[in-house]
Amino acid sequence: MSHETISQSISIVHPISLSHGKNAEVWDTTGKRYIDFVGGIGVLNLGHCHPGVVEAIRDQATRLTHYAFNAAPHTPYIELMARLTTFIPVTYPVSGMLTNSGAEAAENALKIVRGATGRTAVIAFDGAFHGRTLATLNLNGKVAPYKQKVGVLPGPVYHLPYPSADNGVSCAEALKAMERLFSVEIDVNDVACFIIEPVQGEGGFLALDVEFAQALRRFCDEHNILLIADEIQSGFGRTGQRFAFSRLSIEPDLILLGKSIAGGVPLGAVVGRKALMDNLPKGGLGGTYSGNPIACAAALATLDAMTDEHLHAWGAQQQHAIVSRYESWRAQGLPYLGRLTGVGAMRGIELANADGTPAPQQLAQLLGLARGAGLLLMPSGKSRHIIRLLAPLTIEPVVLEEGLDILEACLKQLD
């Protein structure tokens, strides 16, 4: 199928054309079946065409396909926000707004913190990814390809090392870099917020150091700085619990949502402390399609499925399968097999040379080998050398094992 009418600035990982899917399996237009470890890049935690989500979409489509909430409120938006405020595991009163995407949620969060603090500076982290819009580009902790050729970006934005056992950056190193930042680069009183992923997605499924997260929360409280948690990829059960920030024993001030919030229908949200969410003037937040009724209905069905019992069971199953297979591969001494990153069911597998340096060429080879064998994988990491495993949480155990079998066979073929 020709792509001539599609911008060539869009990078495509797998040169196939998909036709349909069911849970953790997809088929292309030639009829070839694939096990899907990409999940729409973290959008399909409930799999392709989850029956409850599909039924909710169909039902809502017969009632109301669209209305702009800021023109006239509609019940799916109201019901979803009420459900979300009880689904978010924090102790303070929550309110929020719906958006079309995670990047739009991040953009609106920047407006909210500026309005609440009167400050403009933002501190983000190396390896971060928060979107492809102009403001979120500057938050990203990576230049290529996102920041190339687009000129001066909205700011001011500063970056710190991201501390994680998965990348070898310690809490002490990150705190030392933060001390330098406020001694040399910027007055702490000019900082509106820190924005951080509890588990980095594009960065390679790196789990944030717990000690640093708690130190950062204390620092923000001491200096009246807001803390934003980007849970767009790590949220809605990806790690085996509702949101990844819970493992850090902190409460962010604002939380960015997206990806698996609505079973594949475009939707995002920014939620947090009610006083923050209410600080802008009337009309300061909103959007024509934000909180579309069909997307809201899909999100309500998603929340119905994501009980704590289900999330724990799904996460434990995937974690056990992935960790046990990885340990087996390490014992076999598979070439180019590096570290296992992440937490719970949000896992990455690093490909590295014998000296520990990244092996992006082998990962590119692995993508092709796996695709040929019927498995779709997604790269990540600064050097595109980490496989991020994003199989649906609902994947059947036999299909998960089949996918891991294919991955093992392909790892053994790398040269």
Residue 348 has φ and ψ, to the nearest 5°, of: -125, 150
- Considering the domain architecture, whether residues 253 and 398 belong to the same structural domain is answered as no
Q: Are residues 117 and 198 in the same domain?
A: yes
Question: Do 398 and 281 sit in the same domain of this protein?
Answer: no
Lowest mean pLDDT among 62-66, 70-74, 129-133, 197-201: 129-133
In a domain, 290, yes or no: yes
d(CA 51, CA 252): 33
Average pLDDT for residues 62-86, to the nearest whole number?
97
**CATH at 172:** 3.40.640.10
Tens digits of per-residue pLDDT, 14-43? 999 999 999 999 999 999 999 999 999 999
Q: Residue 142 has what pLDDT?
A: 63
Task: Examine the domain organization and report whether 407 and 300 are in the same domain.
Answer: no
- Cis bond before residue 156 (omega within 30° of 0): yes
Residue that terminates a domain, selected from 305, 322, 355: 305
What type of residue sits at position 385?
H
Task: Based on the fold, state whether residues 349 and 246 are members of the same structural domain.
Answer: no
Closest CA to 34 of 372, 300, 344, 383: 372
- Which CATH number covers residue 318? 3.90.1150.10
Mean pLDDT of 214-219: 98
Token readout for 293 is 């009724």
- Residue 78, domain member (yes or no): yes
Residues 233 and 320 in one domain: no
Q: How many domains does the chain have?
A: 2
Range of the domain at 57: 53-305
CA distance 42 to 237: 11
For residues 362 and 263, membership in a common domain is answered with: no
Q: Per the domain annotation, does 378 fall within a domain?
A: yes
Token pair in block for residue 412: 């053994």
12: its two tokens? 């495509």
What is the average pLDDT across 193-218?
Answer: 97
Cα-Cα-Cα-Cα dihedral of 245, 247, 248, 253, to 10°?
Answer: 30
The predicted pLDDT at position 263 comes to: 96
The answer on 236 and 215 residing in a single domain is: yes
**pLDDT of 73 above 60:** yes
Establish if 22 belongs to a structural domain.
no
Q: What is the pLDDT of residue 148?
A: 74
**Over 80: is that where the pLDDT of 237 sits?**
yes
pLDDT in tens, 246-299: 999 999 999 999 999 999 999 999 999 999 999 998 998 999 999 999 999 999
User: Of 342, 355, 330, nearest to 381 (Cα)?
Assistant: 342
Q: Is residue 5 part of a domain?
A: no
- Same structural domain for residues 176 and 156? yes
Say what the pLDDT of residue 132 is.
84
Mean pLDDT across the stretch 322-335? 96
Please state the φ and ψ torsions of residue 224, each to the nearest 5 degrees. Answer: 55, 45
- Is 98 a member of any domain? yes
d(CA 198, CA 229): 7
191-196 and 121-125: which strand pairing?
parallel
Q: Is residue 288 located within the same domain as residue 149?
A: yes
Residue 21: per-residue pLDDT: 98
Q: Are residues 228 and 369 in the same domain?
A: no
- State pLDDT tens for residues 335-371: 999 999 999 999 999 999 999 999 999 999 999 999 9
Let me know if residue 4 belongs to a domain.
no
Quick check: 137 pLDDT over 90? no
> Which of 279, 305, 331 is at the close of a domain?
305
pTM over 0.85: yes
3-state secondary structure the chain: CCCCCCCCCCCCCCCCCEEEEEECEEEECCCCEEEECCHHHHCCCCCECCHHHHHHHHHHHCCCCCCCCCCCCCHHHHHHHHHHHHHCCCCCCEEEEEECCHHHHHHHHHHHHHHHHCCCEEEEECCCCCCCCHHHHHHCCCCCCCCCCCCCCCCCEEEECCCECCCCECHHHHHHHHHHHHHHHCCHHHEEEEEECCEECCCCCEEECHHHHHHHHHHHHHCCCEEEEECCCCCCCCCCCCCHHHHHCCCCCEEEECHHHHCCCCCEEEEEEHHHHCCCCCCCCCCCCCCCHHHHHHHHHHHHHCCHHHHHHHHHHHHHHHHHHHHHHHHHCCCCEEEEEEECCEEEEEEECCCCCECHHHHHHHHHHHHHHCEECEEECCCCCEEEECCCCCCCHHHHHHHHHHHHHHHCCCC
User: How far, in Å, CA of 222 to CA of 47, rounded?
Assistant: 42
Is the residue at 245 inside a domain?
yes
Instruction: Find the helix packing angle between 397-411 and 308-332, rounded to 10°.
Output: 30
pLDDT value of position 318? 97
| Whether residue 383 sits in one domain with residue 264 | no
Structure confidence at residue 376 (pLDDT): 98
Rounded distance between C-alpha atoms, residue 289 and residue 266, angstroms? 10
Domain boundary among 305, 326, 353: 305
* pLDDT of 100 higher than 80: yes
